[in-house]
Structure 1
Amino acid sequence: MTPDEPMRSPRAEMTSSAKNSVPAGSRKRKPGEDDVSARQADAYCMNLMDTFDPDMPCRVHDKVNDQIFEWNPQWASMFREYGAKWGEGIVAWDGLLLDGWTPIMHGHPSGH
């Protein structure tokens, strides 16, 4: 992002990158495995939003779109102003339901 470029919300980022994402539920399941998408499975391993620090880069799971996206700390002030607790460990913000986060670990291809 350049200084002249307006800051985009995560919803706008997700919309523009949707063509490059893997469709939910597209991974192969083992016999007897529940019908859970790869992103949902990753979300179960994430921290609750109660411990989320919007000033730190991380990956966040949006329950509405079943997508994981990279959090931009530039959104922190908007998150603090407009984020609303939706349920235990869930925050409603910018048309999304954020239900988990995980730190970005550099050096591993998947970031996990």
Structure 2
Amino acid sequence: MNEQDEALKQFKEIHEDKIATINCRDYVLTAFSHAQRLKVFAFFTHVQADLARGDFWFLQGKEWSDVQKVIENAVTYDGVLLSKRRDHWDEFPEDFILFIGAMLGAISYPFLRGVRGG
């Protein structure tokens, strides 16, 4: 299994289980509408190669800010939406980059299945 297949497998697990465990902390996905998933997917496909290289230039852009809001309005930590936990990333900065990769892929997974034919 190549690296891309491994990533797709991880995205599938997170998508199906609705949970991503990062540094022993559980991030729970709530429901995403088609429009929300589409916004995340479009962004993910735009920055996927950058993510693979470890290039996070996009974190300072408005487009990421909009996508981050979509994600944080539908993912909880400790029963509270991330959008309501204003200090979450100050408290757990070590989770942030792993969270980005996991959420972009897991939320996009329904579309990735179609792209990959599975």
Band of TM-score, shorter chain: under 0.3
Structure with the largest fraction of strand: 1
Q: Normalized against structure 2, the TM-score is what?
A: 0.24
Q: Normalized against structure 1, the TM-score is what?
A: 0.25
Greater relative contact order (CA < 8 Å, ≥ 6 in sequence)? 2
